[in-house]
Amino acid sequence: GFAQVKFGELFKATENNMEAVTGTLKTAKKLKVVHYEGEILFQGRDDFTDVILLSESLPEDSHKYYTSAKVNRRSKALNTKKGKAFQSSTLATSTNNCYVCSKRVYAMEFKEALGK
């Protein structure tokens, strides 16, 4: 590898400017840019786990993975109404289209389709 660091050191170094270091590492592992034991790292439990940098660049097919910018663009394209509590779509204010016939599905119809 090119470099190696303990997860605890990396977490402390990035805690004020990188809020999703664990998710970033998980994606980097899928892209074979870093290696570490286990599937996901947790602060405290995995502080002494080695994170090894395997590559200094991203593979050419890394565009297949979602970035936050792609997710934000997709959300805006869907133009979903947002609830106040968590700024997310709510069942009461959302309307969706049927995947089969493309007709509008309202909240109560959606609830019925789920069997609730």
**Sign (positive or negative) of CA dihedral 96, 99, 104, 108:** negative
pTM for the structure as a whole: 0.53
Burial class (CB in 10 A: 0-12, 13-18, 19+), 51: buried
Note the pLDDT tens digit of each residue in 65-94.
656 566 666 666 665 555 444 444 555 555
Q: What is the DSSP letter of 105?
A: E
Q: Which residues of the chain fall short of a pLDDT of 70?
A: 1, 61-96, 98-100, 105-116
Q: Are 63 and 27 in contact (CB under 8 A)?
A: no
At 27 the pLDDT is 87
